[in-house]
Amino acid sequence: MKRFTIDQNGFGFVAILAVIALLGIVAFAGVRVMNSNQVDSTTASLTRTHSVPNKIQNSADLTKASAALDATPIDTGVNPNQLDKDLNSLL
C-alpha cells in the first residue's frame, strides 16, 4: 500500500514570512502606543506655568483656575464666541 506523504518543500519559507509579518504587526502596535503616550510640549508647559488649585476657596483661586483654562489649547473646530455664549447661558 502506498503511503500518503505531504511535500513540505517551501514550508520553512512560509513560516519565516509568517514570523516576519507577526513581528511587523507587533512593532507597528508598539510604535503607535509609544507615540500616544508622549506628552505634548504645550501640555507640559501648561502644567509648569499655571497651577490649578484643588479647591476654589477665594477669588485668587478662581483667577488662577480661569488663567489655566484660558491657556488650555482647545480644538480648532470650536468657536470660542459660541462656547462663551453657551457657558454664559448655563450660568
3-50 pLDDT, tens per residue? 656 666 677 888 899 999 999 999 999 988 888 766 555 454 444 456
Q: What is the DSSP letter of 85?
A: H
Residue 27 lies in a domain: no
Residue 43 is assigned to a structural domain of this protein: yes
* Residue 64 counted as domain residue: yes
- Residue 56 within a domain: yes
Residue 67 lies in a domain: yes
Query: Could you tell me if residue 21 is inside a domain?
Result: no
Flag whether 22 is in a domain.
Answer: no
DSSP code per residue over 28-72 = HHHHHHHHHTSPPHHHHHHHHH-PPPSS--SHHHHHHHHHHHHHS
pLDDT of residue 47: 47
Give me the domain span that covers residue 62.
35-72
Q: Is 30 inside a domain boundary?
A: no
Task: Dig out the grid coordinates for 83 from the structure.
Answer: 462656547
Q: pLDDT for 2-12, tens place per residue?
A: 665 666 667 78
Please state the domain count of the chain. 1
**pLDDT band for position 76 (50/70/90)?**
low
Query: Which grid cell is 89?
Result: 447661558
Within a 10 A sphere around the Cβ of 34, how many other Cβ atoms? 9
Name the more confident of 91 and 7. 91
